[in-house]
Structure 1
Amino acid sequence: MDGSGGVLVLAATPIGQLADASLRLGQELAGADVLAAEDTRRLRRLCADLGIRPRGMVVSYFEGNEAAKTPLLLDALRTGQRVVLVTDAGMPSVSDPGYRLVSAAIEHDVPITVVPGPSAVPTALAISGLPVDRFCFEGFLPRKAGDRGRRLAGLAGEQRTMVFFEAPHRTAATLAAMAEAFGPDRAAAVCRELTKTHEEVRRSALAELAGWAAAGVLGEITLVVAGAAPTPAVPPDPDSLRAAVAAREAEGRTRKEAIAEVARLAERPKREVYDVVHRVHGPEAVGDSSGDETS
């Protein structure tokens, strides 16, 4: 192991309420040999609010200097120092600095631990009212309209609930682009200023949310968008339904059995499939008519 007692600590910080800071966060901030912070002024303010006087060296570590500062922090870790990494809010590495340092620490067998805590992603998911059994985090979308549109087009068929971060001045344009890519009626939630004094959650269809946001949006924004509806195994149009029933009858199923299976795969009522088949063929026209009646 290259690391000689050094440990990298990824520490989650409050996304709004100071009271959400954990006891362990305070202990780590107070005891760190090195504090790497996305914004050193915010870190010092957080420490002051928590009544903590850090004993370690404070280092600026943000998107613009990650590449240059990562080797320096790695050297500190490899000489046995405890390096605590914090970002402006939430969990490091989640659309924030951290990934480079984590990768370097893993490569050099330096132990890593996490101070769990607030994150806008699960917070927005929980409050959105949208399904949370399966979800994906897409972070910030591209700023340019063309690139953003292509990214969203690639997500149009995504069936998991999707979570995005967005800047307030781009929120209206992003919601409009989502309405175009996913459909105006796709359910979504705009979560603004989560856990803060002016917390607000708007739940509606994408087109309606885009219209609301056109007047201007302020604060930290997290967008939660419902996934696409699953595609039925059998298309629900009449021709596909009739063909699917005929194919199953040709394999030896009774018409009743074929209709029941096709209805399930097409996610349509059995009576609808029954009517579609008999509207064209009549009850005796396809395969074995025994057991025609639906139940």
Structure 2
Amino acid sequence: MGPVTGVLVLAGTPIGDVADAPPRLLTELATADVIAAEDTRRLRRLTQALGVTPVGRVLSYFEGNEVGRTPELVEALLGGARVLLVTDAGMPSVSDPGYRLVAAAVAADIKVTAVPGPSAVLTALALSGLPVDRFTFEGFLPRKTGDRARQLASVATEPRTMVFFEAPHRIAEALTAMAGAFGDDRPAAVCRELTKTYEEVKRGPLGELAAWAAEGVRGEITVVVAGAPPAAPKELTPAELARLVAVREEAGERRKEAIAAVAEAVGLPKREVFDAVVAAKNAERAQAPAKP
């Protein structure tokens, strides 16, 4: 029988209202051998609000030290420790520290589990009023203007609803850039302070939202943007319609059936396709050399 390894627990924390904390989070906070927290001070405030007293060792685990601290946590896991990973809000590794530790734990064949909790991404999607059957999470946009423009251009034709995180001091600039890349009329929603006292969801076209944000927006912000509309079908000329019918006729279809099939394929009335065929035939006759 091999050595007994520990368990890495990824726990979702409230994104605003502390009352949203799942019951399992309280149990894990009270019993974990090690708690790796993005901000130990915020963790302390959370445990106090929840009435929980951790018994395990508390370590900081944030962007600046996660590379160096990951091996230490993996060593604890290999030694049998139950390690709880929490971030300031929401699920670890979703635009927050955690990915490196999860990857390292998986590589070391350590069990990884999760305590599901509040999610700014899903909450904003549900409140946006935009289609949510398919969506993509884009995280934070680059801070530099050129990099941001290139990233937005790369998703300008994305058909799925898109979710972005943004800082309050950059939201007006980001919305203006989105309006430039996606169009002023693209529907969107700016969700701020979700589940908190001053929660607000501002919905409208990107151009209007950019103008609204220019006056200043505070709080934690999630932006939901509708996907690109389907590309308009190419308008076929009468000659092109007639050629499509001719191809089917050459393949053995009767003209009536060929016209009906082309009309259905391009989304036009059969009469319009028929008129195109007649016009093409008349043009052929007009161009034919006169008989001596």
Q: TM-score, normalised to structure 1's length? A: 0.88
Instruction: Give CA-to-partner distance per residue, 1:140-192, whole Å, 9 cap, x none.
Output: 00000110000000101100100000000100111110111011110100001
Whether the aligned pair in 2 keeps the contact of 1:186 and 1:205 (CA below 8 Å) is yes
Residue type matched to 2:260 in 1? Answer: K
Residue type matched to 1:255 in 2? Answer: I
SS at match of 2:189: strand
Aligned length: 277
Q: Distance in 1 between matches of 2:242 and 2:193?
A: 53
Q: Match of 2:260?
A: 256
Q: Distance in 2 between matches of 1:2 and 1:34?
A: 23
Residue type matched to 1:4 in 2? Answer: V
Q: Distance in 2 between matches of 1:65 and 1:286?
A: 76
Q: Distance in 1 between matches of 2:61 and 2:40?
A: 9
Residue type matched to 2:240 in 1? Answer: A
Residue type matched to 1:59 in 2? Answer: L
How far apart are 1:246 and its partner, in Å?
Answer: 2.8
Q: Distance in 2 between matches of 1:168 and 1:277?
A: 58
Q: Match of 2:254?
A: none
Distance 1:171 1:277, change over 3 A: farther
Whether the aligned pair in 2 keeps the contact of 1:38 and 1:87 (CA below 8 Å) is yes
SS at match of 1:157: coil
Instruction: Give CA-to-partner distance per residue, 1:31-67, whole Å, 9 cap, x none.
Output: 0000000000010111111111000000000001010
Whether the aligned pair in 2 keeps the contact of 1:16 and 1:196 (CA below 8 Å) is yes
Residue type matched to 1:196 in 2? Answer: K
- Kindly report which structure 2 residues correspond to 1:80-229, keeping only aligned pairs within 5 A, or say none: 80-229=80-229
How far apart are 1:261 and its partner, in Å?
Answer: 1.8
Q: Match of 1:64?
A: 64
Distance 1:85 1:261, change over 3 A: same
Whether the aligned pair in 2 keeps the contact of 1:3 and 1:109 (CA below 8 Å) is no
Q: Which stretches in structure 2 are left out of the alignment for 5+ residues?
A: 250-256, 285-292
Whether the aligned pair in 2 keeps the contact of 1:2 and 1:110 (CA below 8 Å) is no
Distance 1:2 1:244, change over 3 A: farther
Residue type matched to 2:264 in 1? Answer: A
Distance 1:110 1:175, change over 3 A: same
Q: Distance in 2 between matches of 1:158 and 1:2?
A: 48
Q: Are 1:52 and 2:52 counterparts?
A: yes
Residue type matched to 1:141 in 2? Answer: L
Q: Distance in 1 between matches of 2:103 and 2:240?
A: 54
Q: Distance in 1 between matches of 2:71 and 2:2?
A: 14
RMSD of aligned residue pairs (Cα, Å): 2.2
Distance 1:143 1:243, change over 3 A: same
How far apart are 1:243 and its partner, in Å?
Answer: 1.6
Q: Match of 1:40?
A: 40
Distance 1:244 1:32, change over 3 A: farther
Q: Match of 1:291?
A: none
Q: Distance in 1 between matches of 2:76 and 2:185?
A: 52
Runs of 4+ in 1 over 6 A off after TM superposition: none
How far apart are 1:242 and its partner, in Å?
Answer: 5.2
- Kindly report which structure 2 residues correspond to 1:278-289, keeping only aligned pairs within 5 A, or say none: 278=275, 282=279
Q: Distance in 1 between matches of 2:129 and 2:242?
A: 38
Out of 240, 245, 257, the residue aligned to residue 243 of structure 1 is 240
Q: Distance in 2 between matches of 1:3 and 1:116?
A: 28
Q: Distance in 1 between matches of 2:114 and 2:241?
A: 53
Residue type matched to 1:143 in 2? Answer: R
Q: Distance in 1 between matches of 2:152 and 2:274?
A: 38
Q: Distance in 2 between matches of 1:178 and 1:217?
A: 17
Q: Distance in 1 between matches of 2:101 and 2:7?
A: 12
What percentage of residue pairs aligned between the two structures are identical?
60
Whether the aligned pair in 1 keeps the contact of 2:163 and 2:225 (CA below 8 Å) is yes
Q: Distance in 2 between matches of 1:3 and 1:243?
A: 72
Instruction: Give CA-to-partner distance per residue, 1:86-129, whole Å, 9 cap, x none.
Output: 00000000000000000000000000010001010011001101
Distance 1:276 1:169, change over 3 A: farther
How far apart are 1:229 and its partner, in Å?
Answer: 1.3
Whether the aligned pair in 2 keeps the contact of 1:249 and 1:255 (CA below 8 Å) is no
